[in-house]
């Protein structure tokens, strides 16, 4: 199964943009790139997904490298409520494979 690599932790100041990187060098042509986040003591929450083109939604933007070997989740203005573990996941045909994610700390 294709794997992802993320930094263990990152910090950001409130109301500043955050760029969360993810490497997935063994991605296959049919793998979608999904991002989820998990707040303390809660189930994961969908953030965004994409295949080849950059994507935007109300929560975040997803920038995908041209070779698809890496991607970046962009939170345009971090808030304290964005503090969570962020998972970058490759979605094969029927499964999501979670890694250990990036713990994002937002400083007031």
Binding stretches for other proteins (CB under 8 A): 30, 32, 34, 36, 42-46, 49, 87, 91-101
Shortest Cβ distance from residue 27 to other proteins (Å)?
13
Rank residues 32 and 72 by Cβ distance to other proteins and give the closer one: 32
Closer Cβ to other proteins, 18 or 36, answer by number: 36
| Nearest CA among 29, 20, 75, 22 for reference residue 52 | 29
- Complex with other proteins: residue 21 or 99, whichever CB lies closer: 99
CB of 10 to other proteins, least distance (A): 16
- For the CB of residue 40, give the shortest distance to other proteins in the complex, in Å: 12
Among 94, 100, 105, 73, CA closest to 4: 100
Measured from the CB atom, the residue of 73 and 87 that comes closer to other proteins is 87
Residues 6+ apart with CB under 8 A from 62: 33, 35, 48, 49, 50, 54, 55, 56, 71, 72, 73, 74
CB of 108 to other proteins, least distance (A): 25
Residue-wise burial string across 49-74, b where 16 or more C-beta atoms lie within 10 A, e elsewhere: ebeeeebeeeebbbbbeeebebbbbe
């Amino acid at each position: 199964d294709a794997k992802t690599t993320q930094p263990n932790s990152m910090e950001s100041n409130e109301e500043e943009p955050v760029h969360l990187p993810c490497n997935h060098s063994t991605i296959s042509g049919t793998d979608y790139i999904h991002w989820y986040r998990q707040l303390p003591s809660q189930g994961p929450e969908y953030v965004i997904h994409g295949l080849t083109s950059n994507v935007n939604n109300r929560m975040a933007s997803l920038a995908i490298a041209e070779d698809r070997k890496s991607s970046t989740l962009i939170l345009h203005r971090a808030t304290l409520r964005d503090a969570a573990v962020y998972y970058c996941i490759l979605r094969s045909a029927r499964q999501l494979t979670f890694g250990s994610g990036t713990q994002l700390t937002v400083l007031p």
